[in-house]
Structure 1
Amino acid sequence: MKTTWKLLSLLFVALLTFSACSKDDDPADNDFFVDNYKGTTSYVNTNGDDDVESGQGTVFVTKVGDTYNFGFDRNIPNINGIKMEKGDNNRIFFNSDALGSITINQDDLTILYHTDGKTWTANCKRD
């Protein structure tokens, strides 16, 4: 049942990600998106017991060159070293074995990121 709940949660966040509105700024071009974003965050680790249930949290977005880092509170591990590919305005694509999507614009941050049995989600607004 716990696995079913996790899959349904991932599907819900995926639907939110694909319906997010687009802005004209491209995160690969500037540092405009570096800020705190507050909203609902969660973390599931199928390899351990350090899951963090969905709840209110903060994600701090930083950028160095074309690499983004997403720092979480609530004892959720950070997502570091996400490379940007220019051209899709506000969607980040992964150059690794990860699955999911990170969408960012001037107001919103949506994360559905899965790698190595770990899944991060966030549905946040700029602070």
Structure 2
Amino acid sequence: MKSMFKFLSLTLIAATVVFASCSKDDNPADNDLFAGTYKGSVSFHGSKDISNANGSVFVTKVGDRYDFKFSDGIAAITNVKMEKGDQGYIGSVNGYIGTISINANKLFIAVTKDGTSDTWGANCSR
């Protein structure tokens, strides 16, 4: 039980540091740790169709791996690898095919999942 409490405490402290350290001027491409919310138009087409002009995408980055967690019940895009300094990619990474462009102020996503009809879209700013 003590080890579980220690683990939860350390996780909470780490999360607090990550969230407190990312200002709106931070460019995720320049950081090894990043967490920030981009707001704007989000969409998903596939098993269900979702579109919201006032949605959001919560972006986390650890090392060279990004996760994009969408609002409105849209499935997350996870474990996307972009090297430090890259502000996006065009092509295929970890089964996602398309374009992701991210900097301190803008996030643009136009991606499909290989082997499925699932398509994500986002045009957001911070």
Shorter-chain TM-score category?
A: 0.5 to 0.7
1:102 is aligned, of 97, 100, 103, to 100
Cα deviation 1:84-120 (Å, max 9, x = unaligned) = 1345x31135423422111011110000111121100
Structure with greater strand percent: 2
Report SS of the residue matched to 1:58: strand
Matched pairs, number: 97
Distance 1:85 1:31 in 2: 10
Q: Distance in 1 between matches of 2:119 and 2:76?
A: 11
Stretch moving more, 99-108 or 52-61: 52-61
Residue 83 of structure 2 corresponds to: 85
Amino acid at match of 1:64: V
Structure of larger gyration radius: 2
With the length of structure 1 as denominator, give the TM-score of the two structures. 0.67
Q: Check whether the contact 2:88–2:101 (CA below 8 A) recurs between aligned residues.
A: yes
Query: Of the two structures, which has the highest relative contact order with CA contacts closer than 8 Å and spacing of 6 or more?
Result: 1
2:125 counterpart of 1:118: no
Name the amino acid aligned to 1:44: H
Name the % identity.
41
CA distance in 2: counterparts of 1:26 and 1:34, whole angstroms: 8
Residues 125, 31 of structure 1: alpha-carbon distance in 2 compared, 3 angstrom cutoff: farther
Change beyond 3 A, Cα 1:57–1:26: closer
**Contact 2:55 2:71 survives alignment (8 Å):** yes
TM-score (normalizing by structure 2): 0.67
Q: CA deviation at 1:55?
A: 2.5
Structure 2: gaps of 5 or more residues: 1-26
Native 8 Å contact 2:28 2:102 kept in 1: no
Q: Which has the higher helix share?
A: 2
Which of 45, 64, 67 in structure 1 is aligned with 2:65? 67
Q: Please say if residues 85 and 92 of structure 1, whose CA atoms lie closer than 8 Å, have aligned partners that are also in contact.
A: no
Amino acid at match of 2:119: T
Shift of 1:33: 5.3
